[in-house]
Structure 1
Amino acid sequence: MGWLKPEIVLLLGASFWGLGWIPLDHLAGQGLAGMPVVLYTYGLLCLVALPILVVQRRAWWPQRRALAVICLCGGWATAGLVGALSEGDVVRAMLLFYLAPVWALLGGWLLLGERLSFVRVGALLLAMSGIALTLGVSAETFRPLTASDWLALSAGLAFAFNNLATRAADQVPIASKAVVAFLGAALLGGLFCLQQQVALPPMSAGLWLQILLFGGFWLIAMSAAQYGFSHVETSRAAVLVVIELVVAVLTAAWLGERELGLREWCGGALVLFAALLAERPSRASSTKLCEAKP
């Protein structure tokens, strides 16, 4: 992926995430939804993840703690969001999960020493405003948090920590960072199934094939995203990944799953504008590039 800018790769990965609802909706129509999807999909992906981690163990061992954070936080972000969406209000769950850019911005500043520029903070505020407009905020949105709301909030926090750990684990191969979260998601998906006493649906050969295709789709999306997280400052990456929401809303409208009104168009425009602001290199980076030129 070296011939593409990391920001572009990250946007492509986030766009793939935004398309993820389509195969999930299809699988739900086949009787496979919620935590069993997480368990089956990521359990299958572990067959790819484990050999990669074993082969690259010498490369990632010095930063094994950061890789463990990616495993647990990436897994919790996936399983927690799926659980929140299946148990609670979808709009509230998405709004609370998409507070992740705020946590990433603060974490990048406090833990990684990233500079908080006016443009970067402004881009984040625009993105959050766009999210609120796109999803729709009402007085009902601000009622006291329920258990599923806390689950969504914690998933967003875990996603932010996953991104911070990915950025910090600069010596870990991209492949290891891309697949290790699959282990955490499979483990936590299984624990959720046990805790909620969810009966696993029977699986036909055709359904396993569909899960395999979905897993391949998710592997590509995660690889692109982890490449971007590894090369883009956390505070910028946090804004860029919000493009996922715009892609999800636009494709849902295109396929007739929802209608787009003025509010959704305005929200999407704000998110896109915020992504354009965040995609621009910071002044410090531009200065370094200029100084490096002969």
Structure 2
Amino acid sequence: MRLSSTPLAVASLLVNAFFWGISWWPFKQLQALGLHPLWATAIVYGAAFGLIVLWCAWRSVDWRAWRQQPALWALVIASGLTNVGFNWAVTVGDVVRVVLLFYLMPAWSIAVAWLLLGERPGRAALLRLLIALTGLFIVLKRPDMPWPVPESLADALALLGGLSFAITNVLLLKLRHSPESARMLAMFGGGTLMAALAAVLGLLPGVVAHGAAPTAQWLPFLGLLTGAFLLGNLALQYGAARLAAHTTALVMLSEVVFAAVSSVILGAAQWDARTGIGGALILAAALLSVLPGPHQERP
């Protein structure tokens, strides 16, 4: 790899992290206009999925991977639940708290890789898991709670999103030899399908509201999200293909910074000592999982 490509690759990853870090804002605007984040996710991902299908048809993409790689269907579910959890959580909860709980993903990856790939964790991995779970305990624990269970829907959704994201990453590793177009279709199709299914099921108990009638005010935000997620995905594909995996993961942690700064400035989050200490432990565990060891290859 040429050294000159590294800054552009890092910049591409930062673009992706920036889009995800501020995606909470258009989702909140759409909710204020009467469009639930699940319906918004289904619409945005449905539009992106349609564009990818058209691109695949134009390029005469071979569809046989879907018969040869059943794990693609698992990727549909896992990536879809990732978006259901994250997009819904950042809309109804404290953005900083949600992002911190979501970034327990490296901790969940240890257990998921053990179950799905047979990769037994070493002592360093178990130490990272312990640090991350300690941070989780501190973030969730409140003086009036006898045990730190998720105290809100946003907490539960953030944890679900992070766990699903860990499964998604393991499946992407398992499917690394499948066509890129198949993986993209699975991820955007999963976001469409699972968000729509969750929204329909949520209507029955009243967890998800029907919302207001469609309005032209939705269009700028829906268009912004669709373009941002498509561009962000392309940026991720470019950057991740040109950097070492640990470097990619490290740069992507900047999403926490983008989300925290933007949400505090715009009044969508609050810092307290408990969140700060627990969040520091969660981020420390995430950093330890992506920093290169003494024998790892550097780009």
Identity between Structure 1 and Structure 2 (%)? 29
Aligned mate of 1:64, from 47, 66, 69? 69
Amino acid aligned to 1:180: A
Whether 1:138 aligns to 2:149 is no
Counterpart of 1:213, as a letter, is: L
Tell me the distance in 2 between the aligned counterparts of 1:128 and 1:264. Answer: 14
Aligned counterparts, 1:129-208, within 5 A: 135=139, 137-139=141-143, 140=145, 142-143=148-149, 153-197=159-203, 198-199=209-210, 201-208=212-219
**Cα deviation, residue 96, structure 1:** 5.9
Q: 1:207 to 1:284 in 2, by over 3 A?
A: same
Instruction: Quote how far apart the aligned CAs of 1:104 are.
Output: 1.0
Structure 2 partner of 1:20: 23
Q: Could you tell which deviates more after superposition, 199-208 or 235-244?
A: 235-244
CA distance in 1, matches of 2:18, 2:263: 13
Matched, 1:76 2:87: no
1:156 partner letter: G
1:109-168: per-residue Cα shift (whole Å, max 9, x none)?
Answer: 5544668566655556555656666x5632536248898876654443322111111122
- Return closer, same or farther for 1:152/1:246 CA change in 2, 3 Å cut-off: same
C-alpha distance in structure 2 between counterparts of 1:85 and 1:228, whole Å? 26
**2-structure distance, mates of 1:131, 1:164:** 22
Q: Which has the higher helix share?
A: 1
Match of 2:291 among 275, 280, 291: 280
Tell me the TM-score normalized by structure 1. Answer: 0.72
Conserved in 2, the CA contact under 8 Å of 1:49 and 1:179?
yes
Structure 1 counterpart of 2:65, one-letter code: W
Cα RMSD after superposing both structures: 4.4
Contact 1:101 1:160 (C-alpha < 8 Å) held by counterparts: yes
CA deviations on 1:149-189 (whole Å, 9 max, x unpaired) are: 76654443322111111122122344542343221121122
Tell me how far apart the structure 2 counterparts of residues 120 and 228 of structure 1 sit (CA, whole Å).
26
**Farther-moved stretch of structure 1 (17-26 vs 267-276):** 267-276
Q: What is the Cα deviation at residue 4 of structure 1?
A: 3.4
SS in 1 for 2:70: helix
Contact 1:19-1:247 within 8 A present in 2 as well: yes
Letter in 2 for 1:64: Q
User: Quick check: 57-66 or 236-245, which moved more?
Assistant: 236-245
Residue-by-residue CA offset, 1:70-101 (whole Å, 9 max, x unaligned):
22210122124445667889898767644432
How has the CA–CA distance of structure 1 residues 71 and 61 changed in structure 2, closer, same or farther, with 3 Å as cutoff? same
> Using the alignment, how far apart are the partners of 1:265 and 1:285 within structure 2?
31
Describe the shift of the 1:41–1:94 C-alpha distance in structure 2 as closer, same or farther (beyond 3 A). same
- How many residue pairs end up in the alignment? 286
Aligned residue runs from structure 1 range 1-12, under 5 A: 3-4=5-6, 10=13, 12=15
**1:254 alignment partner, one of 238, 253, 265:** 265
List runs of 5+ in structure 1 lacking aligned partners.
none
Amino acid at match of 2:266: L
1:215 matched residue in structure 2? 226
Tell me the distance in 2 between the aligned counterparts of 1:175 and 1:260: 41
Question: 1:119-134 alignment to 2 at 5 Å?
Answer: 122=127
Q: Is the contact made by 1:80 and 1:151 (CA closer than 8 Å) also made in structure 2?
A: yes
Task: Decide whether aligned partners of structure 1 residues 266 and 218 sit closer, same or farther in structure 2, where only a CA change above 3 A counts.
Answer: same
Which TM-score applies when normalising by structure 2? 0.71
CA distance, structure 2, for counterparts of residue 240 and residue 216 of structure 1: 22
CA displacement, residues 173-214 of structure 1 (integer Å, 9 cap, x when unaligned): 445423432211211222223222342533234422320121
1:40 Cα deviation after fit: 1.6
Gaps spanning 5+ residues in structure 2: where? 204-208
Determine the C-alpha separation between the residues in 1 that align with 2:165 and 2:102. Answer: 9
